[in-house]
Amino acid sequence: MNISSEDSAELEKFAYSPEIAVFFGSFGKSIRDAADKLGLKYIIVSYFTPESISVVVDNITGISLAVGYLKSLGHRQIAFINGNSSRYNDAERYRGFISSMYREKLTVTEDLVMECAGTSDSGYECAMRLRNETDKFTALVAANDMIALGAMKAFSALGMKIPADISVLGFDNTEQCLYSTP
């Protein structure tokens, strides 16, 4: 098992406690294996893994609500920037986007759907690429808030006003969004 001494020390703190540890986000198999070896009881929040107890967000409904909201504002051409679709949350958000676009009778075009690393930098790059390739979309759904923040920076750099020129909707309600404008 390959686990750092810092991670091991952190896990040891929980190992002798009757409580259950709560891990947020994705954790590598080596950390889960180490926790199991120590007899640590834990749950993982916001990341699905079949071998652990997981509590996850309803990604499909969340993205569906986002698409429905943007449609209610009059948007018909909606772009989507996803994170890494090999990850559970991103795969579910992609499924939610595609299914809700069809349910709302909106057209899904390949050139308006992109995948990135899920960071603000990659969101910026994808938004720039989207806007340089086409201007036929009036709204963007981002699979997470960091992608949305990067996209907002890109659109601002292009002289676009949010939401006057384009609507951007992220997912996760992360703390960083408290400091963004708009």
Q: Give residue-wise pLDDT tens across range 10-36.
A: 666 655 555 677 777 766 777 778 888
pLDDT at 176 over 60: yes
Distance CA 167, CA 158 (A): 14
Higher pLDDT, 162 or 45: 162
Residue type, 141: V
Q: Name the segment(s) of the chain with CATH classification 3.40.50.2300.
A: 59-179
The residue ranking higher by pLDDT, 48 or 153, is 153
pLDDT at 8: 65
% of the chain with per-residue pLDDT over 90: 60
Separation between Cα atoms, residue 9 and residue 127, nearest integer Å: 41
H or E element, residue 67: helix 59-72
- For residue 162, is pLDDT > 80? yes
Domain 59-179 annotated CATH 3.20.20.70: no
Please report which confidence band the pLDDT of residue 88 belongs to, taking 50, 70 and 90 as the band edges. confident
Nearest to 108 by CA among 92, 97, 120, 93: 97
Helix (H) or strand (E) holding 78: strand 78-82
Predicted local distance difference test score (pLDDT) of residue 3: 61
